[in-house]
């Protein structure tokens, strides 16, 4: 008898919790995408605009539990969702500009010579094994060179979740 | 993504693009950012969501300037249809 009561009570509590959680998911998802928008760009106006847009994206997604995973879906794991490491982007932009400046043809004895430069980058969020960091940058460079045009390519984070994003330097 | 925008009967909002392109949010928005930067895509906010109480959406569409180039690029990248297998007369057979 006691077992039956406990099972009923447990089922009721579990059902209530699941229901509560599913109601909570859309709210959580909205919070996550607002946070992600702030991480996406350092421009606060643009971040606000993205936050509003992504809240609408979350809202358009059917279901409740799934809303929480709409942003992250297919992303690079978990709540990496609409998250972008602005520091990596800042570095990439800086390196891209430098490479672009280098890629202008230079005059050698009156003949223009075009340079093609590729760059592999790797990030470490804390000091540690430099060999691993070099290896990551090296593989990024190899990937950039294989693309066949000047590129800035990120290698896998040595200590992070992993991030590879080639970005064209030249149009 | 270009194909999705090209095939769209009208402008599309972010979720519709993600769904049609079967790409994740970051991928879609990075591409949209780049396309907007080069003037291939224009975006506009809707004044109000048709359903009351829902957040307004942002719609994207290819600019008229980008249409020919986008179409050419999509055609170039689209996998070519395999030629139909050539039928060969059977040699021998039941004579």
- Whether B54 sits inside 8 A of A59 (CB atoms) is yes
| Residue B57 within any structural domain of the chain | yes
Note whether residue B55 is domain-resident. Answer: yes
Please name the member of A52, A61, A75 whose beta carbon is closest to the beta carbon of B15: A61
Q: Quick one: how far is CA B18 from the chain centroid? A: 10
Coil, strand or helix at B26: helix
Q: How many CB atoms lie within 10 A of CB A5?
A: 9
**pLDDT at res. B12:** 92
Judged by phi (left if over 0) then psi (alpha if -120 to 50, else beta), residue B54 lies in beta
Radius of gyration, CA atoms only, chain A: 24
- Yes or no, beta carbons of A73 and B58 under 8 Å apart: no
Per-residue pLDDT of chain A (171 residues; tens, 9 = 90+): 678 888 888 888 888 877 777 777 778 878 888 887 877 777 788 888 888 888 888 888 777 666 666 654 433 322 334 444 556 666 666 677 666 666 666 666 777 776 666 777 776 655 556 677 777 777 777 777 777 665 666 665 444 433 444 443 332
Q: Do B57 and A56 touch (CB under 8 A)?
A: yes
CA-closest candidate to residue A164, choices A105, A102, A122: A122
Residues A82/A46, Cβ–Cβ less than 8 Å: no
Kindly determine whether residue B13 and residue A56, on different chains, have CB atoms separated by under 8 Å.
yes
Percent over 90 (pLDDT), chain B: 18
* B63-73: average pLDDT: 89
Classify residue A7 as exposed, middle or buried by CB count within 10 Å of its CB (0-12, 13-18, 19+).
exposed
Q: Please state, in angstroms and rounded to a whole number, the distance separating the CA atoms of residues A132 and A162.
A: 13
Q: Tell me the shortest Cα–Cα distance from B91 to chain A, in angstroms.
A: 48
- Tell whether pTM > 0.95: no
Domain boundaries, chain A: 2-76, 86-168
Q: How far is B56 from chain A (nearest CA, A)?
A: 6
| Contact in structure between B92 and B48 (CB atoms under 8 Å) | no
Structural domains in chain B (count):
1
| In a domain? residue B82 | no
Residue among B25, B55, B58 whose CB faces A59 most closely: B55
B16-52 per-position pLDDT tens digit: 898 888 887 878 888 888 889 888 999 999 988 888 8
**Domain residue limits at B40:** 2-76
**Domain presence at residue B54:** yes
Decide if B87 is inside a domain. no
> Exposed, middle or buried by CB within 10 Å (0-12, 13-18, 19+), for A77?
exposed
CATH number of the domain that residue B35 is part of? 1.10.10.10
């Amino acid at each position: 008898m006691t077992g039956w009561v406990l099972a009923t009570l447990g089922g009721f509590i579990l059902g209530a919790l699941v229901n509560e959680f599913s109601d909570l998911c859309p709210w959580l998802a909205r919070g996550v995408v607002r946070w992600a928008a702030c991480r996406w760009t350092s421009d606060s106006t643009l971040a606000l605009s993205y936050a509003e847009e992504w809240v609408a994206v979350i809202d358009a997604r059917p279901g409740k539990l799934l809303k929480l995973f709409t942003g992250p879906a297919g992303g690079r794991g978990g709540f990496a969702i609409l998250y972008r490491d602005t520091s990596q982007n800042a570095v990439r932009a800086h390196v891209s500009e430098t490479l672009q400046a280098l890629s202008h043809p230079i005059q050698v004895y009156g003949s223009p010579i075009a340079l093609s430069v590729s760059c592999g980058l790797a990030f470490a969020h804390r000091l540690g094994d430099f060999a691993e960091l070099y290896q990551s940058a090296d593989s990024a460079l190899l990937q950039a060179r294989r693309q066949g045009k000047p590129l800035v390519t990120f290698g896998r984070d040595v200590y992070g979740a992993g991030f590879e994003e080639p970005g064209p330097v030249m149009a | 993504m270009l194909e999705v925008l090209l095939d769209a009967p009208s402008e599309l909002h972010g979720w519709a693009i993600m769904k049609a392109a079967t790409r994740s949010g970051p991928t879609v928005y990075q591409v949209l950012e780049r396309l907007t930067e080069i003037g291939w895509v224009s975006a506009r906010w809707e004044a109000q969501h048709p359903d009351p109480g829902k957040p307004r959406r942002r719609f994207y569409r290819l600019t008229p300037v980008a249409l020919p180039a986008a179409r050419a690029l999509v055609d170039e990248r689209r996998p070519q249809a395999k030629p139909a297998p050539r039928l060969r007369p059977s040699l021998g057979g039941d004579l």
